[in-house]
Amino acid sequence: METIVIVGGGAGGLELATRLGEALGRNGRARIVLVDRYPTHFWKPLLHTVASGKLDPQVHQVEYAAQAADHGFEFICGEVQRVERASRTLHLGPWRSDDGAELLPGRSLQYDKLVLACGSVTNFFNIPGAAENSLTLDNVYDAEVFRKRFLACCMQASVTRGGVHIVIVGGGATGVELAAELHHTVRTLAHYKLHTLDPARDVRISIIERSGRLLPQLHPYVSRRAERYLRRMGIEVCTDTAVARVDAGVVCDSAGGRHASDVTVWAAGVEAPPVCATLGVPLNRINQIIVTPELRTESDAHVYAIGDCASQVCPSNGAAAPPRAQVAHQQAQFLAEQLASPARAALPAFRYRDYGSLVSLGPFAAVGVLSGGMRKREMLVGGAAARLLYGLMYRRHIMSLQGFLRMAAQTLAHWIRSKVTPPVKLH
């Protein structure tokens, strides 16, 4: 029986494993194996809400082992360190306990077909001191580290009667969404008397963005509206500002400006994880695996890549699919169909359909562009209605993994929970 191994159970990989498990694994037509370095899945676009304490990741995670048992695939917990294409073998690192003790030695796993869906990691662009002196939002653990550091800074500043300055490097969706959430969190923490700071006077949140506007990948209307909204909240927006180095406690820009910082968050770009470079297939400048329109690697017909770790250029317009959950979802859908019907003579090309982008501006507003329809018209949206649509994106993701009924039951459970627990995590 053919073994299809998927590395990475994120927005793309978990949906692919679920679909292939249902189509091939359940009826014994193929062995479907998902490998992830963590035991649970958390939808990455919500990481800023974990960092701000608004969302408890324990409540919103999907257990891989349970998903595997329900949908006909196997799950192996471990970090893939190396891929040996000649022998079609994956090498997994040792499995360690939280204190670093080795629980299981390194293992290997054979595949007939391999799908890399291992996402992306923060790109520090070789800026001196950035990796050493900044926090990132690559996964739930990073987001929790930030949340605890932010809470500790607020509590310490209450005692020393100082202030707190958060500097976010990168004015893309991650930076904007995090800044807006923090504005609300600091006020909620004050309400629970976890600090005695005056949120407007003592807590400064700054975004430093190299290009001329926030959200440079999106429509200028979205940038203008997001900037106006953030400035009204008292968030400092520094555009046309390139970070030259990051030291402990200060971010220096290339024009000589110094931005004091208690916590620096680096949200300025992504690159593919190091495991992609072990394949020995063509990569682009940010280590993404270059794939054909069928999502296969150029030099090995048994290896595929989807999501943030893949670089797929549309043959008709030459545009590269952006690193977004929407792309990972569409590629997972496409590849599941192709791998489930291997008898097809020729694979069609994957074509990314951009349905627009929404950026959350805290619990009550969002802004963005919706596109689609026959004429591919763009519709600019904002305010509470856009925030409602933004919330639906996550529900749609859960529905694609667990079906409508479980998604609806979870939505109700989350709503009830939100009525009986504090609006942010307090410890």
H helices of 96-139, where?
A: 130-133
Is there binding between residue 7 and ligand FAD (CB under 6 A)?
yes
Instruction: Supply the minimum distance, in Å, between the C-beta of residue 269 and ligand FAD.
Output: 11
Is there binding between residue 175 and ligand FAD (CB under 6 A)?
no
Query: Helix or strand or coil: residue 103?
Result: strand
Residue 376-415 contact track with ligand FAD, rule CB under 6 A, x = bound: ----------------------------------------
User: 315 phi and psi, to 5 degrees?
Assistant: -65, -30
Residues between 278 and 307 with contacts to ligand FAD, criterion CB under 6 A:
307
E strand or H helix that includes residue 368: strand 366-372
Residue 328-367 contact track with ligand FAD, rule CB under 6 A, x = bound: x---------------------------------------
* CA–CA separation, 399 and 8 (whole Å): 19
Residues between 25 and 44 with contacts to ligand FAD, criterion CB under 6 A:
35-38, 44
E strand or H helix that includes residue 327: helix 325-340
Is there binding between residue 170 and ligand FAD (CB under 6 A)?
no
The single residue among 137, 157, 265, 369 that binds ligand FAD, judged by CB under 6 A, is 137
Q: Looking at beta carbons only, is 154 or 268 nearer to ligand FAD?
A: 268
The single residue among 4, 5, 6, 12 that binds ligand FAD, judged by CB under 6 A, is 12
* CA–CA separation, 412 and 312 (whole Å): 38
Q: Looking at beta carbons only, is 244 or 380 nearer to ligand FAD?
A: 380
Q: Looking at beta carbons only, is 245 or 355 nearer to ligand FAD?
A: 355
Q: Looking at beta carbons only, is 108 or 156 nearer to ligand FAD?
A: 108
Q: Looking at beta carbons only, is 23 or 332 nearer to ligand FAD?
A: 332
Is there binding between residue 369 and ligand FAD (CB under 6 A)?
no
User: Which residue sits closest to ligand FAD, CB atoms considered?
Assistant: 10
Q: Looking at beta carbons only, is 78 or 199 nearer to ligand FAD?
A: 78
Instruction: Supply the minimum distance, in Å, between the C-beta of residue 163 and ligand FAD.
Output: 25
Per-residue exposure over 72-110, b if at least 16 CB sit within 10 Å of its own CB, e if not: bbbbbbbbbebbebeebebbbbebeeeeeeeeeeeeebe
At 334, list the tokens.
């496409």
The single residue among 119, 129, 171, 382 that binds ligand FAD, judged by CB under 6 A, is 119
The single residue among 174, 241, 264, 288 that binds ligand FAD, judged by CB under 6 A, is 174
User: 132 phi and psi, to 5 degrees?
Assistant: -75, -30
Binding part of the chain for ligand FAD, among 20-28, 114-122, 196-204, 369-377 by CB under 6 A, reads 114-122
Instruction: Supply the minimum distance, in Å, between the C-beta of residue 50 and ligand FAD.
Output: 9
How far, rounded to the nearest angstrom, does the alpha carbon of residue 138 sit from its chain's CA centroid? 7
Q: Looking at beta carbons only, is 41 or 165 nearer to ligand FAD?
A: 41
Site size toward ligand FAD, by CB under 6 A: 33
- Extract the runs of DSSP E, i.e. beta strands, from 126-247: 164-169, 203-208, 236-238, 243-247
Beta bridge partners of 114: 5, 303
Instruction: Supply the minimum distance, in Å, between the C-beta of residue 326 and ligand FAD.
Output: 4
* CA–CA separation, 242 and 404 (whole Å): 45
Instruction: Supply the minimum distance, in Å, between the C-beta of residue 159 and ligand FAD.
Output: 31
Under DSSP, the state recorded for 115 is E
- Extract the runs of DSSP E, i.e. beta strands, from 111-235: 113-116, 121-122, 164-169, 203-208
Return the C-alpha torsion angle 405, 408, 414, 420, nearest 10: -100
Return the C-alpha torsion angle 13, 134, 257, 198, nearest 10: 100
Residues that bind ligand FAD (CB under 6 A): 7-13, 35-38, 44-45, 47-48, 79-80, 117-119, 137, 173-174, 273, 275, 307-309, 323-326, 328
